[in-house]
Chain A
Amino acid sequence: MTSPVLQVAHLTKRFGEFTAVDDISFAIKPGEILGLLGPNGAGKTTTIQMLLGLVTPTSGSIQMFGLDLAAHREEILQQVNFSSTYISMPYALTVEENLSVVARLYGLTDVPRRIDDIVKKLEMEEFRHKITRKLSSGQMTRLTLAKAFLTQPKILFLDEPTASLDPDIAHKVRALLQDERRTSGLSMLYTSHNMREMEEMSDRIIFLQRGRIVAEGTAAEIVARFGQADLEDVFLKLARES
């Protein structure tokens, strides 16, 4: 058995009286894609922000690469990155300038080649020299994906990474993610409201509801356990039951 790259135990986040994440535990193995599924407000984003050290947990522990996040923040974050439809990058810089700043921030070497590489992979050539302000939302999403890939992380946190992409680019992004995981053993934590994408991408799925894990397993296992036709029906059943 390989040891997990990420291990979360009894993670809880309370905002005042409100419990956003309630005692969740899970692990991700090297090269594994874990899907985080759940209705709006279930606590997915809050969980990811805790894993990135942006939100301090109320209790529980987070370990990556066998190290505790609170004590080894810099070491861990050097090997981790994230992307989301909801973040952006400095508007006044060009796409390429933004990527080069990220490269400096992470102290990367061989930067021009890496940037060329990622620009090619995400088909960003045509807006590579554009000012970021002028990007469409799908292009912006690709830029934030590019910044995440650029640093060659070992774990990638993706919060609805394909939400604003057209089907063609979304498909290519998924293929790229799968490819990276095969070739470099990249592990991922993935959220999406697209059930087909979830089924296609995830090795395992955790279903969160009101901050709690209510189901866990492969997509097929979860579908079978709840006696539904597909993941979407499971989602509707769970979401409406509460």
Chain B
Amino acid sequence: MKLHRIAALIVRHLYLYRRSLPRMMEIFYWPFLDLVIWGFITLYLVRYQSQVPGFVTFFLGALILWDMLFRSQQGITISFLEEMWARNLMNLFASPLNPNEFLAATMAMSVFKVTCVSIVMAVCAWLFYDYNLFLIGLWLIPFVLSLVVTGWIIGVFTTSLIMRFGQEAEVLAWSMVFLFQPISCVFYPMDVLPAWLKPVAWANPAAHVFEGMRAVLGSGVPPVTHLAWACGLNAALLVAMVAWFHRTFAYCKEQGSLVRVGE
């Protein structure tokens, strides 16, 4: 791992964002819109469903945290897509850059995006709905970190699929994460899932974060078990996904498709 090579990729993406309105929108406008729509829905619901305690807190909190996961995944996948669209993969991988450095740079980009999006959403939630995200307390920090890593896992997974199957798989960059949404138990407790789906959700680190969040908000119980599960699953899955990325990378070099992906 050479830091200057990772930094080179980050600089490259920052150059890109500095000049691109659609890319800025991705960071600022869409999360903001998400929040506004869901915020109003929540306000509406709360009028009729006030018997569920902390309803707004649950909902907006969950929404913001979910968006962090989504942006984290996008940070990885979109960074790869940018290189693919720019037909820059050949330049990159014919340089001394190795796949781990490439992934590290996309992860850094994902942290950058999550940071921006979180600030936007937290500030807007506070301005518009008088909602203080930090109600969740200090637990918010490990929750967010955990979701960022889960985002990386889904991001690396999606990137591998796009690398392997090319342009046809591009749409996964936006849709893959929603495959995980039902089993992440973002807006409802794991309890409501049918019995056969529960074990699947249990294997999903994000589900533990959202369960943990509800536990903190509902009963104030420290979500140590959930966090431990989330961390353990994250670590195992991240290692597995990075290994799979390497395998896919080797496969594409074998097939001669690495330099053609996206064409």
User: Which A positions have Cβ atoms within 8 angstroms of B?
Assistant: 13, 15, 20, 46, 49, 52-56, 73-75, 77-78, 80-82, 87-93, 97, 100-102, 104-107, 131, 147
Across the interface, do A89 and B88 meet the contact criterion of CB distance under 8 Å? yes
Q: Which among A88, A104, A105 is the interface contact of B86 at CB below 8 angstroms?
A: A88
> Given the complex, which residues of A lie within 8 Å of B9, measured CB to CB?
101, 105
Shortest CB–CB separation between residue B5 and chain A, in angstroms?
6
Tell whether B91 is near chain A: CB-to-CB under 8 Å. Answer: yes
Interface residues in B71-127 (C-beta closer than 8 Å to A): 82-83, 86-88, 90-98
| 29 A-B residue pairings within 8 Å (CB atoms) | A15-B256, A46-B256, A52-B94, A53-B93, A53-B94, A53-B253, A54-B93, A54-B94, A56-B250, A77-B96, A80-B94, A81-B94, A87-B87, A88-B88, A89-B91, A90-B16, A90-B83, A92-B19, A92-B20, A97-B15, A101-B11, A101-B12, A101-B15, A102-B95, A104-B4, A104-B7, A105-B92, A107-B5, A147-B91
User: Which A residues are CB-close (under 8 A) to B135?
Assistant: none
| Chain B residues within an 8 Å CB radius of A105 | 4-5, 8-9, 92, 95-97
A106 B95 Cβ-Cβ under 8 A: yes
Bound-state CA distance A81–B96 (Å) is: 10
**Once the chains bind, are B255 and A106 in contact (CB under 8 Å)?**
no
CA distance A212 to B259 in the complex (A): 23
Whether the pair B86, A91 counts as a contact (CB closer than 8 A) is yes
A89 touches B8 (CB 8 A): no
The reply to whether B95 and A93 contact each other, CB–CB distance below 8 Å, is no
Instruction: Flag whether B258 is at the interface (Cβ < 8 A).
Output: yes
